[in-house]
Amino acid sequence: MRGAWRSRNLLAGGAITALMVLIALVSLVWTPYGPTQIDIVHRLATPSAAHPLGTDLFGRDELSMLMAGAQSSLSVALIAVIVGAGIGVPIGAFAAARGGVPDDLVMRACDLAFAFPALLTAVMITALAGPGAINAMLAIGIFNIPVFARITRGAARGVWGREFILAARAAGRHDTAITVLHVLPNIAAVLLVQATIQFALAIVADAGLSYVGLGTQPPQPSWGRMLNDAQTFIWRAPLLAVFPGLAITFAVLGLNLLGDGLQDLLDPRVRRAR
């Protein structure tokens, strides 16, 4: 019963996430209208056969913008996670392998990074470096570094304490090779789950940044920007705020379900305990 529920998480999360990715990919080659195509005559149109989700204040097709927004949101979030994991995982793995002073230094540095509120820091970085999708990726990515460093270090330390690591050392492997051959594969599941969670958070962060105008720049559509635009007309066209809000919620929900499902699938101890 419980197992069935768990795998439903995985299925639902996987399906939603796959749908999002599919929409983002399709938007690269096809959208019902050009997502930047202005049509002032039909501005603020309510949903109809021609415009299934209506149009915005410039008469742009809401559905097309949402699709293009999925593409920009997901790519910003994906790069941010890759940056965070790409730098954070080696740092955490190094700290776990070395222990002692290097480990302490890395962990204190992470504590320091966590002392800053995430979104505020990202806002600061993009405000300083200049707004734009690339800087948003980097700002959110930088924030993911300590997250990945810490979880990698914790999980890797657990693996380092296991006897097969001692056996690998007794077989003459040095620490770097042991990290790559034995430690990382054994924490891949944990990292994958964390990556889906960070992916969801990065989508929210990206929406936040583009909402305040520091993320993806117009005319390239983004969910955060669409929310901001919709604000002015919240009474005349409330649906314009609802759709991007739903898109963000859906993406985050899908990723979190996926993360949950993966966690149970990949961690045999949890699976057996249940």
Partner 1 sequence: MLAVENLSVSLPMEGGRVPVLADVSFALARGESVGLVGESGSGKSMTALAIMGLLPPGAATSGRVLFDGRDLLAAAEPELCAIRGRRIGMVFQEPMTALNPLMSIGAQVTEPLRLHLRLGRAEAEARARRLLARVGLAQIDPHRHPHQLSGGQRQRVVIAIALACGPELLIADEPTTALDVTMQAQVLDLLGELAAEQGLALLLITHDLGVVSATAARVMVMYAGRVVEAGGTGAVFAAMAHPYTRALFAASPHEAGGRPAPIPGQVPDPQHRPPGCAFAPRCPRAQRDCVATVPVLSPLPFKGRGLGEGSACGASAASPAPSPPPSPASGRGSHVAACFHPHPAP
- Residues in the site for partner 1, rule: CB under 8 A? 99-100, 162-164, 166-174, 177, 181-182, 185-186
Query: Least distance (Å) from partner 1 to the CB of residue 165?
Result: 9
At 236 the three-state DSSP class reads coil
Query: Least distance (Å) from partner 1 to the CB of residue 169?
Result: 6
Q: Closer to partner 1 by CB, 110 or 187: give it.
A: 187
Q: Closer to partner 1 by CB, 37 or 186: give it.
A: 186
Contacts 24+ apart (CB under 8 A), 226-229: 226/56, 226/65, 226/66, 226/69, 229/56, 229/57
**DSSP, residue by residue, 31-48:** -SS-TT---GGGTTPPS-
Q: Closer to partner 1 by CB, 48 or 176: give it.
A: 176
Measured CA angle at 10 (ends 9, 12), to 5 deg = 65
Query: Least distance (Å) from partner 1 to the CB of residue 99?
Result: 5
Query: Least distance (Å) from partner 1 to the CB of residue 266?
Result: 11
Exposure of 29 by Cβ count < 10 A (0-12 exposed, 13-18 middle, 19+ buried)?
Answer: exposed
Query: Least distance (Å) from partner 1 to the CB of residue 92?
Result: 18
Q: Which amino acid is at 135?
A: N
Q: Closer to partner 1 by CB, 193 or 251: give it.
A: 193
Lookup: tokens for 155: 């999980």
- In this structure, the chain runs to a length of 274
**What gap in Å lies between CA 248 and CA 224, rounded to an integer?**
9
Q: Which residue do the tokens 């320091």 mark?
A: 112
Residue 55 bridge partners (DSSP)? 61
- Are 97 and 61 spatial neighbours (Cβ–Cβ below 8 Å)? no
Q: Closer to partner 1 by CB, 100 or 235: give it.
A: 100
Sign of CA dihedral 217, 222, 223, 227: positive
Query: Least distance (Å) from partner 1 to the CB of residue 189?
Result: 10
Q: Closer to partner 1 by CB, 39 or 175: give it.
A: 175
Q: Closer to partner 1 by CB, 29 or 171: give it.
A: 171
Query: Least distance (Å) from partner 1 to the CB of residue 88?
Result: 22
